[in-house]
Amino acid sequence: MSLYFTKDHEWIRVDGDVATVGISNHAQEALGDIVFAEVPDAGKSLSKGDDAAVVESVKAASDVYAPVGGEVIEGNSALADDPSLINRDPEGEGWFFKLRLANTNELDGLMDEAAYREWVKTL
Amino acid sequence: MTEINDNLAKLPLDSWHRSRGGRMVPFAGYEMPVQFEGIMAEHLWVREHAGLFDVSHMGQLLFHGPDIDRALETLLPGDLLALNDGRLRYSMLLAEDGGIIDDLMATRRGEHFYLVVNGATKHGDIEQFEKRLPRTIVMDHMREQALLALQGPEAVVVLDTVVPGVSELSFMQAGLFHWNGRPLWISRSGYTGEDGFEISVAGRDVETLADALTADERVKPIGLGARDSLRLEAGLPLYGHDLDGTTTPIMAGLNFAIGKRRRAEGGFAGSLRIMAELDNGSALKRVGLMVEGRQPVREGALILDAEGSEIGRITSGGHSPSLGRPIAMGYVASDRAETGTVLTIEQRGKLFQATVAPMPFVPHRYHRKQGATA
């Protein structure tokens, strides 16, 4: 299992050809109290860079982009009832969706965890 | 993340905010704290305890001169002649066409009138006053004064400990107090819907005062984010969003701010149009909306009728921390403004259902003395 991050503060946990996607702790801190999240349904096909999910804090709405392409296997249904899961456990229970990777080459160039945590400190 | 622009001005409490973990954002030409521990927690704290807001970006203007009340009445629709010393009133600076240039608080202060205007509009307001008031009127922009708001049900107990006597004020009453020998101009007023006070204090003293107030564990510093959600729940319009040059007091539902004598006599900027709207209604009206579901609708979303035609727009919207649901304000055609009317809202291609609701969404808890009028 390997963990990747994007410069949009998304994380991608890869297990075989299944990728779980969420937003980083830094992202949830920047957003503040999250009051709504909308995740894609199973079966939806996403290309890298597509609008994949919506997350709204008290302040504002933000889009979550698909960091890699593939077919959605599952959206995290727990977020509909309790979007604050994203604040409490952003890199665990607060995941957004799982997809089956269309092209593992899209993982190339993403940051690993150590690189991401270092980069975030420079922001 | 937002880059802080070098051209932004700093508040007298700038370093105080930073040392308390305030997240600074650009607002009204200043760097201001949007939040400290988090908007939701801060919001609920103010509804239960007391919150300290730094509103020093707002403009504090002091006017004097012959017949100052009559002079201001040419631009403001409120009954200022009837305003007693040490009383304040919500009012508006109007354009000649009746549009709202700014909303403000006006206090009679002895021979003076003291106006507090919005931060983002204060320079434009000052130009308007200079241009439109007689030359015999002198206006002082009190740049050296900071302004704090202490809001919430415990504000009175806390402030009366620091500044004995303030608990005697009733809602929309103000007076001069002293604290460690320093003058404070304190009014019982605010923009959260809660009981509370606004304190005008010299910039050089504001940090010591903020320390003294937050030394009480019932007081926490509160950022702009919660200020916005609190005033939205209280049904209070925000200039630049719910009010602007295209809205009139009647469209905005601020009829209460037009004095009875003023309605009869007219003689204020835009009075012909505003009096006609008082008689016949305005084409659009500001309404409160309860939005179905969990997703907030925001400023700019379209309001549609059953046929899908645009009948208005959302001017403020968000999550209500006290109600745990999305609420909004917007303008709709007056025949759709009645409480209970079901409307459709379109935001980013998605449709929402909303119901026109009375405002405030959360009841006001002002401290009105029996028999006293605001």
What's the pLDDT tens digit per position in A44-83? 999 999 999 999 999 889 999 999 999 999 999 999 999 9
Q: Is the reported ipTM for this assembly greater than 0.85?
A: yes
Domain count, chain A: 1
What's B239's DSSP letter? B
Mean pLDDT of B46-75: 98
Residues of A in contact with B326 (CB under 8 A): 35
Please report whether residue A118 resides in a domain: no
Percent share of chain B, pLDDT over 70 = 97
Residues of B in contact with A54 (CB under 8 A): 295
The answer to whether the Cβ–Cβ distance between A38 and B295 falls below 8 Å is yes
Residues of B in contact with A82 (CB under 8 A): none
Q: What is d(CA B359, CA B35) in angstroms, rounded to the nearest whole number?
A: 26
CA B316 to chain CA centroid, Å, is: 14
Confidence tier at B373 by pLDDT (50, 70, 90): very low
Residue A117's contacts (CB-CB under 8 Å, 6 or more residues apart) are none
Burial A79-108 (b: 16+ CB within 10 A, else e): beeebebbbeebbeebbbbbbebbeeebee
Q: What is d(CA A60, CA B317) in angstroms, rounded to the nearest whole number?
A: 10
Residues of A in contact with B25 (CB under 8 A): none
Give me the pLDDT at residue B370, please: 61
Residue A93's contacts (CB-CB under 8 Å, 6 or more residues apart) are A78, A85
The answer to whether the Cβ–Cβ distance between B298 and A60 falls below 8 Å is yes
Mean pLDDT of B49-64: 98
Per-residue pLDDT tens digits for A86-121: 999 999 999 999 999 999 999 998 999 999 999 999
Confidence tier at A1 by pLDDT (50, 70, 90): confident
Give me the pLDDT at residue B6, please: 66
Residues of A in contact with B1 (CB under 8 A): 30, 123
Per-residue pLDDT tens digits for B305-332: 878 899 999 999 999 999 999 999 999 9
A36 closest CB neighbour out of B38, B225, B296: B296
Give me the pLDDT at residue B369, please: 77
Q: Which of B209, B205, B187 is nearest to B145 (CA)?
A: B205
The answer to whether the Cβ–Cβ distance between A56 and B319 falls below 8 Å is yes
Tally: H helices and E strands in chain B: 9, 20
Give me the pLDDT at residue B7, please: 84
Helices B206-214 & B155-162 angle (0-180, nearest 10)? 120
Concatenated DSSP letters for B114-156?
A: EEEE-TTTHHHHHHHHHHHS-TT-EEEE-TTEEEEEEESTTHH
B314 touches chain A (CB under 8 A): no
Residues of A in contact with B296 (CB under 8 A): 35-36, 56, 61
The answer to whether the Cβ–Cβ distance between B1 and A30 falls below 8 Å is yes
Percent share of chain B, pLDDT over 90 = 95
Give me the pLDDT at residue B1, please: 42
Residue B103 bridge partners (DSSP): B92
B121 touches chain A (CB under 8 A): no
Domain spans, chain B = 1-281, 283-374
**In degrees rounded to 5, what are phi and psi of residue B3?**
-85, 135
Q: What is the CATH number of the domain that holds A70?
A: 2.40.50.100
Please report whether residue A18 resides in a domain: yes
B38 closest CB neighbour out of A32, A56, A83: A32
Give me the pLDDT at residue B2, please: 45
Per-residue pLDDT tens digits for B220-234: 999 999 999 999 999
Per-residue pLDDT tens digits for B354-369: 999 999 999 999 998 7
Please report whether residue A115 resides in a domain: no
Cβ neighbours, 10 Å, residue B361: 21
What residue type is assigned to position B113 of the chain?
F
B318 touches chain A (CB under 8 A): yes
CA-based nearest residue in chain B for residue A32: B38
Give me the pLDDT at residue B306, please: 79
B198 is in an annotated binding site: yes
B296 closest CB neighbour out of A32, A35, A123: A35
Residue A56's contacts (CB-CB under 8 Å, 6 or more residues apart) are A34, A35, A36, A37, A62, A83, B295, B296, B319
Containing structural domain, residue A83: 2-108
Please report whether residue A116 resides in a domain: no
B39 closest CB neighbour out of A30, A58, A83: A58
Residues of B in contact with A58 (CB under 8 A): 39-40, 43, 225, 229, 318-319, 321
Q: Residue B199 in contact with residue B185, Cβ under 8 Å?
A: yes
More confident call, B24 vs B373:
B24
Q: What is d(CA B65, CA B226) in angstroms, rounded to the nearest whole number?
A: 39
Q: Residue A80 in contact with residue A36, Cβ under 8 Å?
A: no
B273 touches chain A (CB under 8 A): no
Per-residue pLDDT tens digits for B61-75: 999 999 999 999 999
Gap between the terminal Cα atoms of chain B = 43
B225 closest CB neighbour out of A30, A56, A58: A58
Per-residue pLDDT tens digits for B170-192: 999 999 999 999 999 999 999 99
CA B288 to chain CA centroid, Å, is: 17
Per-residue pLDDT tens digits for B190-247: 999 999 999 999 999 999 999 999 999 999 999 999 999 999 999 999 999 999 999 9
Please report whether residue A85 resides in a domain: yes
Confidence tier at B140 by pLDDT (50, 70, 90): very high
Mean pLDDT of A40-44: 97
Q: Judge: domain B283-374, CATH 3.40.50.740.
A: no
Q: Which two tokens stand for residue A50?
A: 């597509």
pLDDT surpassing 60 at residue B372? no
Q: What is d(CA B19, CA B22) in angstroms, rounded to the nearest whole number?
A: 7
The answer to whether the Cβ–Cβ distance between A59 and B34 falls below 8 Å is yes
For the purposes of burial, counting CB atoms within 10 Å of the CB of A11, is it exposed (0-12), middle (13-18) or buried (19 or more)? buried
Residue B153's contacts (CB-CB under 8 Å, 6 or more residues apart) are B47, B48, B49, B50, B194, B195, B365
Please report whether residue A14 resides in a domain: yes
Q: For the sheet containing B112-117, what is the strand order?
A: B88-94, B100-109, B112-117, B59-64, B138-141
Q: Between the CA of residue B165 and those of A65, B88, B110, B171, B184, what are the distances in Å?
A: 57, 18, 19, 14, 12
Q: Which two tokens stand for residue B208?
A: 């010591």
CA-based nearest residue in chain B for residue A59: B225
For B1-281, which CATH superfamily applies?
Probable tRNA modification gtpase trme; domain 1 (3.30.1360.120)
Q: Residue B321 in contact with residue B328, Cβ under 8 Å?
A: no
Residue B369's contacts (CB-CB under 8 Å, 6 or more residues apart) are B170, B171
Q: Residue B223 in contact with residue B35, Cβ under 8 Å?
A: yes
In the three-class reduction of DSSP (H, G, I as helix; E, B as strand; rest coil), residue B263 is classed as helix
Residues of A with CB under 8 A from a CB of B: 30, 32-33, 35-36, 38, 54, 56-61, 80, 83, 123
Residues of B in contact with A80 (CB under 8 A): 294
Q: Tell me the shortest Cα–Cα distance from A7 to chain B, in angstroms.
A: 12
The answer to whether the Cβ–Cβ distance between B225 and A59 falls below 8 Å is yes
Mean pLDDT of B156-160: 98
